[in-house]
Amino acid sequence: MPKPPRLLVPMILFATLLTACTSVVPARISTGNRASGTKATVALVHQPIGTVDLRWNAGTGHLIVTIHLSGLTPSSTHQAHIHQGTCQATGAMLFALKPVMTTPLGVGTSRTVLDHVTDGIPVAGWSVTVYNGSQLTSADQLMPMACTAIGNVRHRSSVLFDFNPATVDQPASSVPTEEVS
């Protein structure tokens, strides 16, 4: 009886493993009639997550605001502000922050040093909002995509808060995730 070729057994094993590692997903095909020129609009909703860190120096009056967000559109720019009020009832803009600039992976950061902040981080009444756009010239760009209420009930000089996209539409907690004296 003739011997099988030397590579036949490894080739059969490879084909078996390759078949076992793949899966078949049936595709849905619509065969309905479509009018020529029909357009579809899809709203893509990203949900960025991250933190805002506020550090106040009573001696210099500097407030350093550092924002870290992930889940953003890659290589994009987003305006950010500190407002009076809450995420649900935004008041006047108190401070414009440096824009959040994202990497090609959608990770964004912003660091702003604010001068002449004489009263420190308030017990309540501030919120930090990051907007969808870079110019804030249209409704889409003005849409808040991350917001958090700022509350400093322990009168700390440094507080860290979690951004949560849900806080744009839902009540935000004013309890920091971390306090540092």
What ranges do the domains of the chain cover? Answer: 49-180
Q: What is the pLDDT of residue 165?
A: 64
For 4-59, how does the pLDDT look when each residue is reduced to its tens digit (9 = 90+)?
556 555 555 445 444 444 444 444 444 455 555 555 554 555 679 999 999 999 99
How far is 49 from 163, CA to CA, in rounded Å? 6
CB atoms within 10 A of CB 80: 23
Q: What is the pLDDT of residue 26?
A: 42
Q: Which of 177, 129, 128 is nearest to 156 (CA)?
A: 177
For 101-150, how does the pLDDT look when each residue is reduced to its tens digit (9 = 90+)?
999 999 999 999 999 999 999 999 999 999 998 988 888 888 899 999 99
How far is 164 from 170, CA to CA, in rounded Å? 10
Q: Please tell me the CATH code under which domain 49-180 is placed.
A: 2.60.40
181 vs 97, more confident:
97
What are the angstrom distances between the C-alpha of 66 and each of 7, 19, 140?
60, 50, 24
- Cite the DSSP H helix spans in 23-151: 139-142
